[in-house]
Amino acid sequence: MSHYYFDSGNFVIEQFHEGKPFASFLPGLAGLKGIPMWTFYVNRGQGICSFGVRDKNSPIMEFSPANISYKNVASSGFRTFIKIKGVPEMYEPFQSARPDPEAKRKMTILPNGLTIEESHAGYGLKTTVHYFNLPGDDYAALVRRVELENVGGRELELEMLDGLPEILPYGVENSGYKEIGNLLRSWMEVYNLENGIPFYKLRSSTNDDAQVSEIRSGHFYLSFTAEGERTAPIVDFETVFGGNTSLGFPERFAGLQLAELLAQPQYPVNKVPCGFSGVARILAPGGKLILNTIIGHVNDIDKINRKAEALCRDEYITSKALEVASLTDGLTEDIATRTASPIFDAYCRQSYLDNFLRGGYPFIFDNGGEGAVVHLFSRKHGDMERDYNFFSLAPEYYSQGNGNFRDMNQNRRNDVFFNPRVGSFNIKMFYSLIQADGYNPLSVQGTTFEILPGKAPQLAEWIHTAAADHQEELVKLCAGRFTPGRLINYIADHGVTLKAGEQEFLSGVLALSQQNIEAAFGEGFWSDHWTYNLDLVEGYLDIFPERRQELLFGDETYSFYDSPAYVLPRSEKYVLSDGKVRQYGALLEDEEKLHRLKRKASETHWLRTEGGHGDIYRTSLFVKMLSLTLNKFATLDPYGMGVEMEGNKPGWNDAMNGLPGLFGSGMSETFELKRMIVFLLEVLESGGNGIEAAGAAVKLPAEMSLLLEQVHSATTAILAGEIAQFDYWHTVASARELYRERIRFGITGEEQPVAFALIREALGRFLRKLDTGISLAVEMGGGLAPTYFRFEATRFQAVTDENGQPVFSGYGLPKAVVEEFEAFALPHFLEGPARWLKTLDSPGEAREIYNRIKQTELYDPVTSMYRTSVSLDGESNEIGRIRAFTPGWLERESNFLHMSYKYLLALLKMGLYEEFCGELKTSLIPFLDPEVYGRSTLENSSFIATGGNPDPETHGRGFVARLSGSTAEFLSMWRTMMAGSHVFSVIDGELAMSFAPALPGWLFDEQGEVSFTFLGHTKVTYHNPRHLDTFGQGGALIQSLTLAYCDGTVSRISGALLRGAEAEALRRGDIAEIRAVLE
């Protein structure tokens, strides 16, 4: 029976091999100047079950989905075989072939590493294995440190063989190996054996093409003892296992002395090679044998050959182990928290870590100005349980990774809180990626840099000044698009001598460069991706409230991403299928556009004037927000309730993939649209912090101005009762389609001044229309806002040609024209109400909704958690794969942590503090029972199986590790709990800041204290000696603040409010510590 517990910042699982199987990964952090590696593990065998560089197509150990890894890791993963003199049988620690009651095992999960151990009373041995990814060096590697300790009372003479039964040579792609692995053996070779460091790679490319290329990079294996003794490698698996191809037993090792085995000839050809090391020792009681193994990847094996002596020192490994631990400690210091619950404090750090593993850690490069923000360490959330996602970690210094628009967007929501120097970078990035039709690309890549026009001579001059050699090569490297990592890697790999410091050299280059956003269309247009953009704006203004005008109007260099895909008009996507009208084939991947504008779909493009042949069109954030608002308002469904899923993809819940075909719409997006309209209306208010609207105007692209005029006119008409709802919908949809046709290749570049007063009038009417639709939706939902609607065409006409024959769409089905729709609300989902709460002004109304939800099946009494939806048994499979899933599994009726956390955050932000704190103990991961959760309660899961699942063993168990939007929601909860819903404000023209924590009394420690890090630099401590809640009637309030400045000055302020100079100093980072006394 497994036993789980938290211990000194780590999570421990005793008898881990008997616990519920789970999959996780090492974070792949190698530091600013290190090369990352992806590494996955499970709680079976010796843990590690797959690792490699860049992506799945460069595996060192084959990547397999979780369910396969659980079965195979004990045989194909790391193995340790021990022969003890006088003991007839061979001992294999961590074996799974048969139960062994004398073996006691333990797994310790560290923030940036993994340790497993087995103590065996019968053999008197304790085997400990440490894993971590190598930080701070010029190659990527997994370090494995095996410690064998004699814990018995007698001397042991033993031989140990340790290693990996299969190492895939570089050049083998994962999918190819699974399909034609037998053939690929013919290319496999192991080089560099004469130097005792095997170098694994294919001899050449394997494609059946006329052009054949040599493969130069490769994987390597290096093993040595703590005394620095290099071990002779075994690379032919038959030398170890003989004919036992199941890898069940090392027959050759069992029959030979180690010295004899190592002397055997090896033939690592036409077979998948291995990597094993053997050591013989006599261990006195208490004695230890330590074997270090580095398995990694390099572009040139000579790099490792040259430094082998330095690498083969135990001090190198132990220092790197300390470095890798301090790396995560340093990065997560931004959220350092101390409460009465150490596991909660560690969970805060882990959530922050996992959040930036998906969204990136904002690193500020000096460029002689405000700094260039580059998000490091990120990757798309692909792993053994998300085997459908293709992740990528750039194997270079200052590594960036890929990600989806939605994921990176929401996981960067709190960047500016933890590091105010990030400023408006994320706002600029994600609003620029919004297209002129309101959609956005799916895939967001790492940013690149290129030298500004006309700055090439200055670049050449700087490089000749700052570099002593390789000047021409460096100039050439900067001639195209480059990354800081690629530049520094070149300097390191080629031994470039710099006359300036590395950072100074890089700063000089970046000062002459512009930063490029890189993205790709991907597949389809989701209806929800844009909904996270406003969070970025609100988060920025929470820190810099006085900069609203500057943010919205001061920067006129925002652009529009220009996609190679085009949303087709209704006439091309409304089709007949089995006698019913459906919306299929909604997108056109526009080859004509690519051909006409001489573009490549794989490159990043921006909307241009002169029909796509002119300059990139640039404008302000205000215009971008207005454009987005207009596009989404023009996409409301035929009843004026939800935003249509007309781009071939659904909203947040990907498993509702069938809804777009059913003319589906989402109320979640409607509520976010309302938030955006309300925000813009507040901006347009005269006086105060708004803008003086009378007589003022903003320039809009002529095409957008016309669409605004047409939609405003139609909205005015329906509000006056002059047209029916269906006619209104048809009019607006037609205007939208005509607009898209006009901007398909680009815009003219002509601009039309539009008065702010007119925009305010239009937005006011849009809001009235939106509220009407929301009221209707709530009515159809029986008092609770539905999340989804589907529509059936109740009157329609088939489209025929002049001969009466059906006209077929590009999708291959007959076209239809719809004359009437009927709306059907789907069963309730949690997402709609979670977003609805964000639009309310009254805590009382929010409490009514909370109580109503608790009475529905959205609340799961078995786990005391919230489900994604009530039962979907009454729905057809047409709504999407969600219907095919088992209840309580994946997106179907489970606790999808991102959404339940989003709901909890909405409760908190609406001021339902008692309700929120009451949910914490049953919904927040660190407070769950790990025996039920089945994995570390420091780590989030994508979903938790709920009571609706037919298998009771799954109830409350977490699945799909870590990298989800739940971390973003928790960070928002954390900052609200610690600092309050709003941070900085402007009072009477000066900056102000007031701490307003929402903390339950039980989170205060024995001294009555809670401390946290504010804005990434100031330690704030609340002293609450009576352990009162900091909310509600009788709650503790801040009585005084003591400010300890960085220069040693100390001042005391009554109350919780900082104004003027104090608030400025706090935001600037001039205050080291604040102590608040609560009574």
The answer, yes or no, to whether residue 402 has pLDDT greater than 90, is: no
* Mean pLDDT computed over every residue of the chain: 97
- pTM for this one? 0.97
Contact 907/919 with Cβ under 8 angstroms? yes
The tens digit of pLDDT for each residue in 751-798 reads: 999 999 999 999 999 999 999 999 999 999 999 999 999 999 999 999
Report pLDDT for 379.
86
The tens digit of pLDDT for each residue in 636-683 reads: 999 999 999 999 999 999 999 999 999 999 999 999 999 999 999 999
The tens digit of pLDDT for each residue in 239-262 reads: 999 999 999 999 999 999 999 999
Question: Which neighbouring-strand residues pair with 576?
Answer: 581
All structural domains of the chain with their residue ranges = 3-330, 448-516, 556-780+788-820, 983-1078
The tens digit of pLDDT for each residue in 806-848 reads: 999 999 999 999 999 999 999 999 999 999 999 999 999 999 9
The answer, yes or no, to whether residue 693 has pLDDT greater than 80, is: no
> How long a stretch of residues is the chain?
1079
The tens digit of pLDDT for each residue in 73-130 reads: 999 999 999 999 999 999 999 999 999 999 999 999 999 999 999 999 999 999 999 9
Report pLDDT for 212.
87
Nearest to 377 by CA among 59, 112, 172, 603: 112
Q: Is the dihedral of CA 487, 493, 497, 498 positive or negative?
A: positive
CATH T-level assignment (fold) for domain 3-330: Beta-galactosidase; Chain A, domain 5 (2.70.98)
Strand bridging mode 788-798 / 665-666:
antiparallel
In which band, very low, low, confident or very high, does the pLDDT at 270 lie, cut at 50, 70 and 90? very high
The answer, yes or no, to whether residue 692 has pLDDT greater than 70, is: no
Contact 996/1056 with Cβ under 8 angstroms? yes
The answer, yes or no, to whether residue 900 has pLDDT greater than 50, is: yes
Report pLDDT for 383.
86
Nearest to 649 by CA among 733, 565, 739: 565
Report pLDDT for 694.
45
For residues 280 and 384, the model is more confident at: 280
Q: Could you give the CA distance from residue 993 to residue 1039 in angstroms, rounded to a whole number?
A: 15
The answer, yes or no, to whether residue 686 has pLDDT greater than 70, is: no
Report pLDDT for 690.
52
The tens digit of pLDDT for each residue in 347-392 reads: 999 999 999 999 999 999 999 888 999 999 998 878 899 888 888 8
The tens digit of pLDDT for each residue in 509-526 reads: 999 999 999 999 999 999
The tens digit of pLDDT for each residue in 911-964 reads: 999 999 999 999 999 999 999 999 999 999 999 999 999 999 999 999 999 999
The answer, yes or no, to whether residue 163 has pLDDT greater than 60, is: yes
The answer, yes or no, to whether residue 1 has pLDDT greater than 80, is: no
The answer, yes or no, to whether residue 688 has pLDDT greater than 60, is: no
Nearest to 967 by CA among 989, 949, 941: 941
Contact 570/614 with Cβ under 8 angstroms? no
Per DSSP, helices labelled H in 36-142 are 66-76
In which band, very low, low, confident or very high, does the pLDDT at 295 lie, cut at 50, 70 and 90? very high
Q: What is the DSSP string of 851-866?
A: HHHHTSTTEETTTTEE
- In three state form, how does the secondary structure of 556-574 look? CCECCECCCEEECCHHHHE
Q: Could you give the CA distance from residue 91 to residue 84 in angstroms, rounded to a whole number?
A: 8
